[in-house]
Amino acid sequence: MKLRVLGNSLRLRLNRADIETFRQTGRCEEQVQFSAGSRLVYALEASPVTKIEAEYSGDRILVRVPVDMAREWVASDQVALSVVPPGGGLSLLIEKDFQCLHPKGRMAQDDADAFPNPEAPSVSR
């Protein structure tokens, strides 16, 4: 799972393995280790909430998604879940990670477990 922070927005991108973990357990978690004893943990959790929400506490970011919404999302072709609060506030975007169309523009990373990109040119056989 990848985390992107930009201004007052958070974006989580899950590859196929992340989606499967989330489907089976209702949770997906990653961490960034900065130094001994200093880390940032970020997680996505299916929870009995009524809307998508996020919480930051004790070097942890927890994004909660209503259970029914989470089940529907992982079982469908739906790409993203999002919330943009009216009048400002934290915007959240949770999406399935697609394979990169321009790999030279990214740091070296393996996206073999990413979802096939629907914008990739089709290969005729």
pLDDT (0 to 100) of residue 88? 83
- The residues, ordered by sequence, that sit 6+ positions from 109 with a Cβ below 8 Å of its Cβ are none
> What's the pLDDT score for residue 110?
60
**Where do we find the tokens 């070296």?**
108
User: What's residue 124's pLDDT?
Assistant: 47
Splitting the chain (125 residues) into consecutive groups of 10 residues, what average pLDDT does each group show? 94 94 97 91 97 95 98 94 91 85 55 61 51
Pairing of β 60-66 and β 38-47: parallel
According to CATH, what is the number of the domain 2-101?
A: 3.30.1360
Check residue 98 and give its pLDDT. Answer: 67
pLDDT of residue 24: 97
Can you give the residue ranges of every domain in the chain?
Answer: 2-101
pLDDT of residue 51: 95
